[in-house]
Amino acid sequence: MYILGKSVVFTLYGESHAPYIGGFLEGLPEGTEVNIGQIDEELALRKPSNGIGTPRTEPDEVEFLSGLENGRTTGEKIHFRIRNTNTDSSKYEMFNRTPRPGHADLPAIAKFRNHEIKGGNQFSGRLTASVVAAGSIARQFISEYGITVGAFTKSIGEVADGEDRSITDASNSRKNPTRASTKDLDSMMTKEIIEASEDGDSVGGVIECIATGLPIGFGGTWFESLDAEIAGAVFSIPACKGVEFGKGFRLAGMRGSESNDPFCFDNGIKVRSNNMGGILGGMSNGAPMVFRAAFKPTPSIGKEQDTVDLERMENAKIKIEGRHDPCIVPRAAIVVESITCLVIADQIRRDSLWNLKI
Ligand SMILES: Cc1cc2nc3c(=O)[nH]c(=O)nc-3n(C[C@H](O)[C@H](O)[C@H](O)COP(=O)(O)O)c2cc1C
């Protein structure tokens, strides 16, 4: 069981080449408005774009089996599923014998009896479609509290966005296939992806996510810290290898006088800078929550690599053909947003500050 959350509980199920992937979402109050068109728009942002994504395309039509009626939640468990229509497993057979470096093949074969690597199975990025569908419902719930979540691509390979960006920039990035915040950066990032792909290679990058509207004190402490729960959830996205809040690892090299965000009165209590990414003690300090997630280059690449032959128990070479994303980042941006919405929805249903408001 792949379960996220305590009060708003999301259960993910499915495999890349099974008939369906899907999920259950429990714990949202009765009567939350759910716009199916918005779910479809957000699922479209996860689809591969021409030239910079896998040629595997799927219609991603969400079928709701329970929990929604006349565009509103009923308060019962929401069950939805998405059909897998494009499931050619032939190119994956060799990975059962010669596991792909950088992918989950080897540990999965060691752990699960009769594991078959069909399309990456439960380790496939395909399952993130269900995260986006559930996250879109959570996003519509948290918007009732004035909370907005947006992400954009901060870097791909060597191309980095050096500016401080806002939630509006994140929203505008939805127009750009790489999810860069500007058209110019989008062109440069596209070039970076295409160059890697033409070289039989892949490239990684960083996604920045921003959440606005969190009141001072929202969140939890220790294991329920907002940053701890978000980091845990974001790390579960396949290929995520790092999460940092605010200035993150750069804080380690600063002095306190430089890193502390001073408070001031300016139409309410505000912080003058946002080195902490909006979190103190696991709770919001009222500033936008800002974190970045690092995604590694796609493991399946066309270049020849060293691996092992598990039948002959000897060294082997592997050259991967088939349909793979040369860069995961553009498609992962909406997944990062969606999982963040799920964690915030869960914390709203647990947090007494918000319960007072309901
Ligand atoms: C949206 C998305 C698409 C992905 N597409 C591919 C792909 O085409 N080929 C591939 O080898 N890995 C792809 N991945 C990454 C693998 O699923 C991931 O690297 C693998 O499961 C191992 O997990 P880990 O990288 O977290 O250790 C994708 C991940 C995401 C989030």
Whole-prediction pTM: 0.97
* Residue among 23, 56, 99, 138 at smallest CA distance from 310: 99
Domain boundaries, the chain: 2-357
Q: Quickly name the fold that domain 2-357 has.
A: Chorismate synthase, AroC fold (3.60.150)
Instruction: Tell which one of 42, 124, 331 to mutate to probe ligand 1, the residue whose CB is within 8 A of the most ligand atoms.
Output: 124
How many whole angstroms from 121 Cα to the centroid of ligand 1? 11
pLDDT of residue 71: 96
How many whole angstroms from 298 Cα to the centroid of ligand 1? 6
How many whole angstroms from 129 Cα to the centroid of ligand 1? 13
Give the 3-state secondary structure of the chain: CEEECCCCEEEEEECCCCCEEEEEEECCCCCCECCHHHHHHHHHHHCCCCCCCCCCCCCCCEEEEECEECCEECCCCEEEEEECCCCCCHHHHHHHCCCCCCCCHHHHHHHCCCCCCCCCHHHCHHHHHHHHHHHHHHHHHHHCCCCEEEEEEEEECCEECCCCCCHHHHHHHHHCCCCECCHHHHHHHHHHHHHHHHCCCCCCEEEEEEEECCCCCCECCHHHCHHHHHHHHHHCCCCEEEEEECCHHHHHHCCHHHHCCCEEECCCEEECCCCCCCEECCEECCCCEEEEEEECCCCCCCCCEEEEECCCCEEEEECCCCCCCCCCHHHHHHHHHHHHHHHHHHHHHHCHHHHHHC
> What's at 19, amino acid-wise?
P
Nearest-atom number in ligand 1 for the CA of 240 is: 26
Residues 6+ apart with CB under 8 A from 229: 220, 343, 346, 347
Instruction: Tell which one of 47, 91, 94, 298 to mutate to probe ligand 1, the residue whose CB is within 8 A of the most ligand atoms.
Output: 298
The 10 Å CB-count burial string (b at 16+, else e) for 312-348 is eeeebebebebebbbbbbbbbbbbbbbbbbbbbbbbb
CA distance 310 to 98: 6
* pLDDT (tens place) for every residue of the chain, 358 residues total: 799 999 999 999 998 888 999 999 999 999 999 999 999 999 999 999 888 888 878 899 999 999 999 999 999 999 999 999 877 778 888 999 999 999 999 999 999 887 788 777 889 999 999 999 999 999 999 999 999 999 999 999 999 999 999 999 999 999 999 999 999 999 999 999 999 999 999 999 999 999 999 999 999 999 999 999 999 999 999 999 999 999 999 999 999 999 999 999 999 999 999 999 999 999 999 999 999 999 999 999 999 999 999 999 999 999 998 789 999 999 999 999 999 999 999 999 987 565 544 3
pLDDT of residue 15: 87
Residues with a CB atom less than 6 Å from ligand 1: 54, 103-104, 120, 123-125, 128, 237-239, 296, 298-300, 324-325, 328, 331-332, 335
pLDDT of residue 107: 96
